[in-house]
Amino acid sequence: MFWGLSVRFKAKATCADRHVTGRRSVVRLTRLITAVAAASVMVGCGPNGVNWPTEGRDSRIGPTCPRPPGTDNSHFGDQEREIRHFRKLAFSNDFFAQIELSNRYMGLRATDENLTDPVEAAVWLVMALSNPEGYAPINRTARNGQHTSRFDKCLAAERANGYRQLERLLARMDTSERDQVRNRVIYVQSQLGADGFRTLGRLYDTQYGPMGEPADNREGVRATMRDPAYARPNVISLFQRNDVDAYLYNYKASATGDVGAYVMLKDFERSSPERERSKYGAFVEAKAKRWVSPFEFYPPQAPAGGVPHADESRPRGDIYGYALTRMDELPFIHVGRALVYLDLTDQVAQAPSEVSDHTVMGLRAILGRKDGGRLNNLDRVRAIQLAATNGSAQAQLVLAVMYSEGVGVPADYARAFHWYQEAEKQGSAEARYAMSTYFALGLSGVADQDKASAVVLRLGSALDGYRPSAARLQAVLNEVSRSPHR
């Protein structure tokens, strides 16, 4: 293997799902115990501890569940520590952390005005409303649909209030801002593995509520009403319902190897008259193999005077940890070049020991992280990703090779091809040659076999002086000259 260019081609439900399909038998016991404990110790959410929400009452005056404990921000850095804490929990799909984080980004408290960010607030409201922890009851409901558990009632009030706040936020956004909300939600959900892809499938499926809850969920049903007190037209239109996207994300969930996701996919295929949805199978499968999430990692942005957004996603599975341990196989000079491109240092480091603490702190500040210690493997991956997303052709090529080889990041040929394309657009001869190999061999739907395109790319690579391509140019031309169809 050589790192100038290396391309190998290898053959290659949540509680809510149980609530919807009745197929999942494993329940996350710890969350249930936590929920029951929380319900048992609460003495009330409103004045005098007795003001629990009642069905049919205006949700905006109904009490909410007890908020997670926080600090008074009286000490320097308290606010930032809280945001970091809530983001870690929110990225792990904790319902209450997502609600609390959205409140912080709405600047509901005077001390949080510097954090105000409508797009980010909307993102975490969508995550909370689509989170099964918020709508899958821990207790039975009565025959009339009313909740029998006080804890379930306060969850319903949280969701009703969340729908109202999300509608208000989206109503003030233009199309590009709504696209940002949708793309960020898709990215975060994709980092949750099969659970996240299943949620995305429900968000696009006409057989579920506006935020992927069961079709008979009270808050979801109210959001679809024409009654102005409950109607949420902007929320409903955020994810345009269609069978192709619903099928795509169910397919992505099943591709993770999750058995429950496979069952859900088959149920989805059979859930339309004459199995109309199953006819999309071949088309969706090809599309899924080319699919990449909207971002390489969460956009490290921040409102003026606020705390930079941090990517706290922790993709599941041993494959991610193993890929990260392989970062030592990548010559460190590529990380050093990325740090120079990001203007974090003037010297290209040849080894981790040559990277100063000041440079590490600068990198983590850009990424919204303040962890101490020396440069670690995740920092190395993020440096290359950040340089690639900011336009470095060298970093884009290196990142493509990392995805091809499964070094630092899990092998993903769709992503590898994406970054080869980005580097090729900037004139990289190596990337052009790599793309020619994809087209010459054909790769699991990522790039269809196209010998003519392969020859054109190899010719261009050779003319740009890339030696492996130049050395093989004559053989390629001889092969083409013998084919009457080329």
| pLDDT, the chain, mean | 76
Beta bridge partners of 147: 141
Instruction: Name the range with the highest mean pLDDT among 42-56, 155-169, 237-251, 278-292.
Output: 155-169
Nearest CA to 103 out of 128, 80, 72, 132 is that of 128
Cα dihedral sign for 317, 322, 325, 326?
A: negative
Q: Could you give the count of Cα atoms lying within 13 Å of 143 in the half-sphere of its Cβ?
A: 0
Residue 478: which pLDDT band, with cuts at 50, 70 and 90? very low
Q: Where are the alpha helices (DSSP H) in 406-465?
A: 413-425, 429-441, 451-463
The amino acid at residue 376 is N
Residues 241 and 233 sit within 8 Å (Cβ to Cβ): no
Residue 256: which pLDDT band, with cuts at 50, 70 and 90? confident
Q: Give every CB contact of residue 372 below 8 A, 6+ residues apart in sequence.
A: none
Residue listed under structure tokens 């969350």? 31
**DSSP 8-state class, residue 132:** H
What are the two backbone dihedrals, phi and then psi, of residue 141, each rounded to the nearest 5 degrees?
A: -105, 150
**DSSP 8-state class, residue 443:** B
Nearest CA to 216 out of 146, 267, 148 is that of 146
Q: Give every CB contact of residue 63 below 8 A, 6+ residues apart in sequence.
A: 44, 45, 46, 51, 52, 53, 154, 157
374-390 per-residue burial string, b: 16 or more CB within 10 A, e: under 16: ebebebbbbbbbbbbbe
Q: Indicate if the pLDDT at residue 428 is higher than 80.
A: no
Cα(243)–Cα(252) distance, rounded to whole angstroms?
Answer: 14
Which of helix, strand or coil describes residue 141? strand
Beta bridge partners of 447: 443
The predicted structure's pLDDT at residue 18: 36
Cα(408)–Cα(443) distance, rounded to whole angstroms?
Answer: 22
Instruction: Name the range with the highest mean pLDDT among 154-168, 433-447, 466-480.
Output: 154-168
Q: What is the mean pLDDT of residues 91-97?
A: 94
Q: What is the mean pLDDT of residues 187-199?
A: 93
CA distances from 198 to 13, 47, 130, 143, 460 (A): 8, 39, 11, 28, 43
Q: Give every CB contact of residue 350 below 8 A, 6+ residues apart in sequence.
A: 332, 333, 336
Residues 52 and 223 sit within 8 Å (Cβ to Cβ): no
Torsion (CA) 273, 279, 284, 286 in degrees, nearest 10: 170
Q: Which domains does the chain have, with CATH numbers?
A: 15-290 (no CATH), 329-409 (no CATH), 427-486 (1.25.40)
For the chain, give percent helix, strand, coil, nearest 5. Answer: 60, 0, 40
The predicted structure's pLDDT at residue 221: 94
Residue 275: which pLDDT band, with cuts at 50, 70 and 90? low
The predicted structure's pLDDT at residue 271: 74
Q: What is the 3-state secondary structure (H, E, C) of 23-61?
A: CCCCCCHHHHHHHHHHHHHCCCCCHHHCCCCCCCCCHHH
What are the two backbone dihedrals, phi and then psi, of residue 447, each rounded to the nearest 5 degrees?
A: -140, 120
Q: What is the mean pLDDT of residues 142-152?
A: 68
Poorest-confidence range of 105-114, 172-181, 282-291? 282-291
Residue 260: which pLDDT band, with cuts at 50, 70 and 90? confident
The predicted structure's pLDDT at residue 14: 37
